Amino acid sequence: MGMNPIVVGQCPRCKSFELVSDDTDPEDSIEYCLVCGFVHDQEGDLPLPHYSFQYRTKHNLITKDIEELHGCMPVDNLVEAENWLKARESEGIEFIKAVLVNRQGHVIWLRGSPGDWNWACT
């Protein structure tokens, strides 16, 4: 996103204290959550469902974005989302976190732990 993100508070979706703001351009400021992927900009909130993940390989040799190679993670079916993650893991990708926010606004941790991302949980 921007160059100068600053922590501004608690995310309205996942409740983590990882909501940051990029106010590099005051007329186009963006708030986004480093945990669940929530985004608020001039157009409003990112619609549900949405997801956020962080990943790496054993050698950190990812040359293309994972979604460019494999498409987006399915968001309307947890079994399909889990199968998508397992397929990527079988290719050597390790997910540090994978968080899905469903159509009802429920935050579902598929990989990782909220305690690693939200200091209020520790």
pLDDT at 3 over 70: no
pLDDT of residue 2: 43
**Cα 100 from Cα 36, distance rounded (Å):** 7
38 within 8 A of 102, measured Cβ to Cβ: no
The model scores a pTM over 0.75: yes
pLDDT of residue 78: 94
Convert the pLDDT of each residue in 21-69 to its tens digit.
877 766 678 888 888 889 988 888 888 898 998 888 776 655 568 888 8
Query: Nearest to residue 98, comparing CAs of 76, 114, 118?
Result: 114
Convert the pLDDT of each residue in 68-121 to its tens digit.
888 889 999 999 999 999 999 998 888 989 999 999 989 999 999 887 766 554
> Which tokens go with 95?
């997910």
pLDDT of residue 121: 46
